[in-house]
Amino acid sequence: MNESVSPRSAFTKDSDQHFEAVRQRDLTELYAQRAQRLQKLAQDHELADYLLLAARVAQAQAQCAEPAPAQRTDQVLDVAQTVQAGQWLQHLTAIIKALGANLPAELNEALIQLQVLADAEKIELGQYLVQAQFDQVPSALAPILWAALSLELAMVARRGAAVKPEQEVKCCPVCGGLPVASLIHTGGRQGLRYLHCSLCESEWHMVRAKCSNCGDAKAVDYISLDTEEAAIRAESCNHCHGYLKVISLERDPEAETVADDLATLLLDLALAEEGYGRTGLNPFALPE
Ligand SMILES: [Zn+2]
Ligand SMILES: [Zn+2]
């Protein structure tokens, strides 16, 4: 999708395109907003405990995130290499420390088992996650490992070149990760749709009313749990039978992609019943 966008021009506005192809928000601000939104959505929610745990993780990520440097390099993000380098293990330690006590029993148990692993074994778990081999990683641990990995990849992504030239349309042009959901913007980007990366927290532009998985524009439909004007709808496709949620800031200015996607798992259940498969990933609801 971004074939025409060179690494250097991805962040600048040119005459044909009055908006950025790729956006990368400040991480501390992004994670803090996510934590706050998760706390708000947890009120009277049936998954309140889990949303509050996710909020604690996001808060820990906010504390660990370092600001992007003023100058970018031309270095393209290499996910496998970044995982292998193991910097993210420091974030893992910091996130686990910040989570403190009073954790769910299953997570507590998984963290105790994690403690005895060598760094190389932890790195191996990280490689499984970025290769989407989720069955190789204990499910209670996966979101915590993902949080640390994702934070490091997001920081590295903000230091280097914006896009890889050869990425599949449905994947993040910066790291190749899958989207969480689409976000419809307001303000200076009024009405524009960006997909939010589940791994490096970049957003990439895609035209609306088109399947983000297969590119089909004729067979998309919008499904919501309440009214047609709902802020969160599923964009389903009758061509590839996939779906991804569309979250509208026009309809709810406080929405945050990861938090609002996680808090609407009922919509995922409804889509699964209709026979549609999710084409994205939520860092806090990874497949098992
Ligand atoms: Zn990405
Ligand atoms: Zn499709």
Span from the CA of 116 to the centroid of ligand 1 (angstroms): 30
Provide the whole-model pTM: 0.92
Span from the CA of 154 to the centroid of ligand 1 (angstroms): 8
How far away, in angstroms, is 201 Cα from ligand 1 center? 6
Q: Which ligand is in closest contact with the Cα of 276?
A: 2
Ligand 2 centroid, distance to 168 Cα (angstroms)? 14
In this prediction, residue 1 has a pLDDT band, given cuts at 50, 70 and 90, of very low
- pLDDT at residue 17 greater than cutoff 60: no
Residue 84 has pLDDT above 60, yes or no: yes
Q: Which helix (H) or strand (E) holds 90?
A: helix 88-99
CATH topology classification for 27-157: FdhE-like fold (3.90.1670)
Q: Is the model's pLDDT at 172 over the cut of 50?
A: yes
Question: In degrees rounded to 5, what are phi and psi of residue 113?
Answer: -70, -30
How much distance in Å is there from the Cα of 217 to the middle of ligand 2? 8
Boundaries of every domain in the chain: 27-157, 179-278
Task: DSSP letter for 62, please.
Answer: H
Q: State the residue for tokens 């949620």.
A: 245
Gap from CA of 118 to ligand 1 centroid (Å): 27
- 170 CA to middle of ligand 2, Å? 10
Residue 15 pLDDT greater than 50, yes or no:
no
Question: Residues 145, 18: contact at Cβ < 8 Å?
Answer: no
Ligand 2: distance of its center to the CA of 93 in Å?
39
For the ranges 11-15, 111-115, 207-211, 257-261, the lowest mean pLDDT is seen at 11-15
| CA-CA-CA-CA dihedral for 273, 239, 246, 163, to nearest 10 | 130
Question: Chain-wide mean pLDDT for the chain?
Answer: 91
Percentage of the chain with pLDDT > 70?
92
Q: How far is the CA of 195 from the centre of ligand 1 (A)?
A: 10
pLDDT on residue 6: 43
What residues flank ion ligand 2 with Cβ within 5 A?
Answer: 211, 213-214, 216, 237, 239-240
- Ligand 1 midpoint to CA 287 (Å): 18
Decide: 265 and 228 in contact? Cβ < 8 Å: no
pLDDT at 208: 92
pLDDT score for 264? 96
| Closest ligand to residue 244's CA | 2
Distance 206 CA to ligand 2 centre (A): 14
Q: Looking at residues 96-116, what average pLDDT do you find? A: 92
Q: What is the mean pLDDT of residues 159-184?
A: 86
Secondary structure (3-state) at 221: strand
